Chains A and B, each alone.
Chain A
């Protein structure tokens, strides 16, 4: 049954693309619309994953949780928790330039990783949380995968439509105004730190939702589930390559990067062990190089940010970064 294996693999890939697409949409709100540098995506992802896992998993000895709540409650909880983590960080850092947010979010991700690894009463430490319920999890394998893909696709569609609407709304225009010329926006009476905080929290909540979908897909979540640095960086390269400020671009970037990333894994796994380890790091090197190449030669990404009215600004002034005010 060669074709069945192929279908299963394609569905598996598609689910991951859907989950990463949620992360990329969240980052697009933060970076694409608002110009906020979040280097702790994996942290918000983990918060979402663990929150939903704790809320929905059945009772287990020795740790908090086992509330056995319905899955949608867990997902909602994941978004709220990720947003709640984002709030104080944003409150402190968003008055300052985005460099400070970058450092602080690296710190947040690191602290979350430490908590997840060492607080066994909360997260069961290294053993992780198991028995996370999965919607339609009792169907046969292929059907269950397909059903989950449908759920992920549905969630992604709703998120996409909402974020897209946000982009076209007065709120979206205001955010781009803040991003492109903070001083002018402030002069127009916009409360810049507060608006940035909104975008930071919205984006982080979406990342938390992505984490929750991941946890329910895997049925378990352990501290080793994701490599914080690589996961965060993958989402960045997805958004930059796809086109920051463009939601379709973000999703396209996710698909392209994820397919390259997992295909290259298949190749490197076939190498003899000695080379396989080195090849694994070579992949990381190349993904870093890819970012440099995109930043240099196509900063606006595959699908640039849509410019609705007026003449297109010169290419140097559009694209992968928010033109901030001169320091």
Chain B
């Protein structure tokens, strides 16, 4: 196999799927760092966002790129609603109870998707898109959009976290909740803001997964493990770490097809997760360990 083949069949798909994982992993890392629990409904929330976009596409007859912001906004609202309804009253209890509640929420969200949209796999657009040839490297337009959108969203998030007042409040809650609360940070606003951002990112991950592959009720759940692997690999609480982790996990998954039967792609993410927990739970970029 020559280098071009390696790039076309393994590296490019790896970067694309890695960008999708990155979008999800950023959300997971934010919840893990600021709210301090592992959110197991993350994948199914992404499924929900993807199917919402499908609803907009079929009803409005618009392109998925137009549906994306709508899906992000609605999923953000749903995420806030889920937090208000199911997680808010568990805040005083040990965090692991919220983890359990989120497992139940995952099941509920998925059931809603299955009831409303059925269980057959679907796509946003019909027909096969032929990749364009860029000096021998074959890339589809939607793949470029996926990677660029991921970069744009993450840069916007980083700017927000770094320079805005509420972004700073979120980072303060992540670094030291007691100190942040004492300094007058409004916990409720931080939680609200976190879920808005996380919901939006979740929907984006789902839509791009659906755009590049297909929409299935289980698509988000199968993405949960790679997303967590990415968040932990990058270091919990580090947004840029989650992106790095997402890309590494995505590329590793695609590359694993060189050595392993393709059924075991999912095992790669799991192996990375266990390896990181074993040798360096803080992750590559020195995140926190809860």
List the A side residues contacting B37 at CB < 8 Å.
99
Identify the A interface with B (CB < 8 A): 35, 37, 39, 89, 92-93, 96-100, 102-104, 106-108, 110-111, 114, 117-118, 229-230, 233, 236-237, 240, 277-278, 281-282, 284-285, 287-289, 291-292, 295-296, 299, 316, 320-324, 327
A37 and B99 contacting across the interface, CB-CB below 8 Å: yes
Q: A37 touching B111 by the CB < 8 A rule?
A: no
Q: B90 near A295 (CB under 8 angstroms)?
A: yes
What are 14 of the A-B contact pairs (CB < 8 Å)? A37-B96, A92-B278, A99-B99, A100-B232, A103-B38, A104-B277, A111-B270, A118-B263, A278-B115, A285-B108, A295-B104, A299-B93, A321-B93, A327-B290
On whether A285 and B107 interact (CB within 8 A), knowing A99-B99, A291-B101, A321-B97, the answer reads: yes
A110 and B226 alpha carbons, distance in the complex (Å): 12
B119 touches A118 (CB 8 A): no
Q: How far is the CB of A146 from chain B (nearest CB, A)?
A: 35
> 1/0 contact trace for B108-132 toward A, CB 8 Å?
1011101100110000000000000
Q: Which residues of B contact A295 (CB under 8 A)?
A: 90, 97, 100-101, 104
- Please report the C-alpha to C-alpha distance between residue A292 and residue B87 in the assembled complex, in whole angstroms: 9
Question: Given A35-B96, A98-B96, A322-B94, do A103 and B36 touch, yes or no (CB 8 Å)?
Answer: no
Cβ-defined contact, B97 with A236, below 8 A:
no
- Tell whether, in the assembled complex, residue A327 and residue B270 are in contact, meaning their CB atoms are under 8 Å apart: no
Contact of B74 with A by CB under 8 A = no
From B32, B38, B85, B100, residue with most partner A Cβ within 10 Å: B100
Q: Which B residues touch A289, using CB under 8 A?
A: 104, 108
Q: A111-B270, A236-B103 are in contact. Are A327 and B38 (CB under 8 A)?
A: no
Q: Report yes or no: B111 in contact with A110, Cβ–Cβ below 8 A.
A: no
Q: Which of B86, B107, B274 contacts A287 (CB 8 A)?
A: B107
A288, B264: Cβ atoms under 8 Å? no
Given A106-B40, A233-B104: A285 and B263 interface contact (C-beta under 8 Å): no
Least Cβ–Cβ distance between A234 and chain B, in angstroms: 10
A324, B225: Cβ atoms closer than 8 Å: no
Q: Is B15 an interface residue (CB 8 A)?
A: no
A-B pairs with lowest CB-CB distance, top 4: A285-B111, A288-B108, A99-B38, A291-B104
User: Which residues of B does A touch, CB under 8 Å?
Assistant: 32, 36-38, 40, 85-86, 89-90, 92-97, 99-101, 103-108, 110-112, 114-115, 118-119, 221-222, 224-225, 228, 232, 261, 263-264, 266-267, 269-270, 273-274, 277-278, 281, 289-290
- Bound-complex Cα distance A316 to B112 (A): 31
Residue of A nearest to B218 (CB): A229
The verdict on A233 contacting B103 (CB below 8 Å), with A106-B224, A111-B266, A295-B97 known, is: yes
Interchain CA distance A292-B115 in the complex, whole Å = 20
Q: How far is the CA of A114 from the CA of B271 in the complex (A)?
A: 14
Shortest Cβ gap from B127 to chain A (Å): 28
- Which one of A102, A278, A282, A296 has the greatest number of beta carbons of chain B within 10 Å? A102
- Given A97-B290, A289-B108, CB of A102 within 8 Å of CB of B38: yes
The smallest C-beta distance from B247 to any residue of chain A, in angstroms, reads 20
Asked if A114 contacts B267 (CB within 8 A), the reply is yes
Q: How far is the CB of B128 from chain A (nearest CB, A)?
A: 28
CB neighbours of B281 from chain A (8 A) = 96, 100
A34 → chain B, closest Cβ, in Å? 12
* Residue from A39, A108, A118, A316 within 8 A of B40 (CB atoms): A39
Scoring A99, A111, A233, A285 by chain B CB atoms within 10 A of each residue's CB, the highest score goes to: A99
- Distance between Cα atoms of A71 and B29 in the complex (Å): 47
Q: Which residues of A contact B90 (CB under 8 A)?
A: 295
The answer to whether A117 touches B94, judged by C-beta atoms less than 8 angstroms apart, is no
Asked if B277 contacts A100 (CB within 8 A), the reply is: yes
Residues in chain A near residue B270, CB distance under 8 A: 104, 107-108, 110-111
A39 is contacted by which of B101, B103, B266, B277 (Cβ under 8 Å)? B103
Report A-chain residues with C-beta under 8 Å of the C-beta of B264.
Answer: 114, 118
Q: Is there contact, CB below 8 Å, between B273 and A107? A: yes
B41, chain A: closest CB distance, angstroms? 10
Selected contact of A99 from candidates B85, B96, B225, CB within 8 Å:
B96
Contact of A284 among B92, B111, B269 (CB under 8 A): B111
Establish whether residues B225 and A292, one from each chain, have CB atoms under 8 Å apart when the complex forms.
no
Partner of A277, one of B97, B119, B290: B119
Inter-subunit contact B86/A102 (CB<8 Å): no
CA distance in complex: A161, B174 (Å)? 45
Residue of A nearest to B92 (CB): A316
Q: How far is the CB of B180 from chain A (nearest CB, A)?
A: 14
Least CB distance, B253 to chain A, in whole angstroms:
13
Chain A residue at minimal CB-CB distance from B112: A285
User: When A110-B266, A114-B266, A316-B92 are in contact, do A96 and B101 touch as well, CB less than 8 Å?
Assistant: no
A324 to B104, CA, bound (A): 21
**Residue pair A292, B111 in contact (C-beta under 8 Å):** no
Contact B119 A284 (CB under 8 A): no
Cα A292 to Cα B88 in complex, Å, equals 12
Known pairs A106-B40, A285-B115 / 6 extra A-B pairs, C-beta < 8 Å = A102-B96, A103-B232, A106-B224, A285-B107, A285-B111, A323-B94
A112 shortest CB reach to chain B, Å: 11
Q: Which residues of A contact B96 (CB under 8 A)?
A: 35, 37, 97-99, 102, 321-322, 324
Residues of B within 8 Å of A324, CB to CB, are 94-96
